[in-house]
Amino acid sequence: MVTRTSIGALGMAGLLAASGVIALSGTADAASTLGSAAAGKGRYFGTAVAANHLGEAPYVSTLDTEFNSATPENEMKWDAVERTRNSFTFGAADQIVSHAQSKGMKVRGHTLVWHSQLPSWVGTLGTADLRTAMNNHITKVMQHYKGKIHSWDVVNEAFQDGSSGARRSSPFQDKLGNGFIEEAFRTARAADPAAKLCYNDYNTDGVNAKSNAVYNMVRDFKARGVPIDCVGFQSHFNSASPVPGDYQANLQRFADLGVDVQITELDIEGSGTAQAGSYSNVVKACLAVSRCTGITVWGVTDKYSWRASGTPLLFDGNYNKKPAYTAVLTALGGSSPGGGGGTAACTVSYSKQEEWSDRFNGKVTVTAGGSAIGDWTTTVTVTSPQKISATWNGTPTWDSSGNVMTMKPNGNGSLAAGASTSFGFTVMKNGNNAAPVLGSCTAS
């Protein structure tokens, strides 16, 4: 567990190395990042990671600064690692694992047995062959990552939605029957006895027919000694499927069966204070359940989310911290540098407006965090030879190059918690169409 300390960064690194503890990212200021604040509460705070974004500098710096656990978003799925029978390709997943390890992050394994992203050859096998193929897949993938994965989603989404509580049809269910889940867990335990073995699903976040069915399975596994260590609650929320009122109670009843619970794919569609409030409720529920060992959000930035149009994550498309970020950090007991007492200051986001052959208009939206602010300032940097030729609804000043504009409000800059304002400007392209880059937003 890493907590705020007066030991200098080098001293802390030495202590961690000497005690064999893996250093978590963000130890220099223990409670100013999601990972370090969660570590202060004995939890991890992770994100889904896509290998093809690891070349994008702001993606990587946000990942490395804020998170201390990573889940490959697609790279460990069956169609990625065993597209052809018994021919394993680990390149993209290995890239994520090595990156995570080099930054001291833990890795969640996702996922071994799932009906989706399953190569078609699996569905063509007869029963005996399918059993061999399933066990071979689990064994080979887990052995490849032995010692590197803290928790594996051994079986993913095996139950139907709705009121039936029945198993979902899949090649595994249809040919091997209900026992495939137990068999998968037993094989997994043999392959890497140190990894925590999880069952993972969605729409199981509150008490309902589907979560009852999973609950009954876990209770049965514990009673019969079938190896299972954790249950993952994906927690994909939106207005049609909000955070359930009995979320914490549901996590607790699973924990009471003697398994850890993890929030494994959290994202909440929305914006502003409503989204921030929901995120805060999820974090508080996890912290209130002692066996809730960590939270993973399903992506770093809204722009790469599997449901990007719902802007469900903690960083916007320009990697600005959203009000939801501040709410999470605050709920974890952390505080933003410059944010004052755990409230964020403000966030900024950019959008392109009208465009002509020689110029375009840009709009920056400034949003207050979890508390009201009295004033704000941010910067807009354009790429030479671009020039900003006009501005509105703000008071600009310029650096000597003329490329960096510092923008302050016109008159009163106060904003209520979660409230927004915007300013605009015209960029003369001069042959360059690059988007302006925003600095961070500072509030007082």
Residues lying near ligand G3I in the complex (CB under 6 A) are found at 73-74, 116-117, 202, 234, 265, 306
Closest CB to ligand G3I among residues 265, 316: 265
Is 75 an annotated catalytic residue? no
> Cβ of residue 200: shortest distance to ligand G3I, in angstroms?
7
Q: What is the DSSP letter of 260?
A: E
C-alpha torsion 95→98→104→105, nearest 10: 40
Q: Is there a catalytic annotation at residue 73?
A: no
Q: Least CB distance from residue 147 to ligand G3I, whole Å? A: 23
Of 75 and 370, nearer to ligand G3I (C-beta) is: 75
CB of 111 to ligand G3I, least distance (A): 7
Query: Which one, 233 or 319, has the nearer CB to ligand G3I?
Result: 233
Confirm if 405 and 438 have CB atoms less than 8 A apart: no
CB closer to ligand G3I, 67 vs 202:
202
Query: Which residue has the closest beta carbon to ligand G3I?
Result: 306
* Bridge partners, 353 (sequence order): none
Query: Least distance in Å: CB of 211 to ligand G3I?
Result: 15
Task: Tell the smallest beta-carbon distance from residue 74 to ligand G3I (Å).
Answer: 5
Q: To the nearest whole angstrom, how small is the minimum distance from the Cβ of residue 108 to ligand G3I? A: 11
Q: How far is the CB of 71 from ligand G3I (least distance, A)?
A: 9
Enumerate the H helices of 236-312 as residue ranges.
Answer: 247-255, 272-288
The residue (of 219 and 307) whose beta carbon lies closer to ligand G3I is 307
Which CB, 74 or 238, lies closer to ligand G3I? 74
Annotated catalytic residue within 82, 157, 183, 269: 157
By beta-carbon proximity to ligand G3I, the closer residue of 73 and 425 is: 73
44 beta partners = 294
Residue 123: both structure tokens together? 């569905």
The CA distance from 235 to 322, in Å, is 19
* Residue 284 to residue 276: CA distance in whole angstroms: 12
Alpha-carbon distance 153 to 108, whole Å? 8
Nearer CB in complex with ligand G3I: 116/127: 116
CA distance 377 to 336: 16
Choose the catalytic residue: 73, 75, 82, 265. 265
What's the CA gap between 362 and 375, in Å, rounded? 21
**Three-class DSSP category at 229:** coil
Could you tell me which of 134, 155, 142 has the C-alpha nearest to residue 194? 142
Give the span between the Cα atoms of 395 and 366, in whole angstroms. Answer: 14
CA angle, corner 298, sides to 353 and 78, nearest 5? Answer: 120
Helical spans, DSSP H, in 41-126: 57-66, 78-81, 91-102, 120-123
Alpha carbons 307 and 339: distance in angstroms, whole number: 29
**Residue 16 in contact with residue 22, Cβ under 8 Å?**
yes
Hey, CA dihedral for 316, 340, 370, 69, is it positive or negative? positive
- In whole angstroms, what is the distance from residue 13 CA to residue 24 CA? 10
φ/ψ region of 395 (left if φ > 0, alpha if ψ in -120 to 50, else beta) reads beta
Least CB distance from residue 264 to ligand G3I, whole Å? 8
Residues annotated catalytic, as ranges: 157, 265
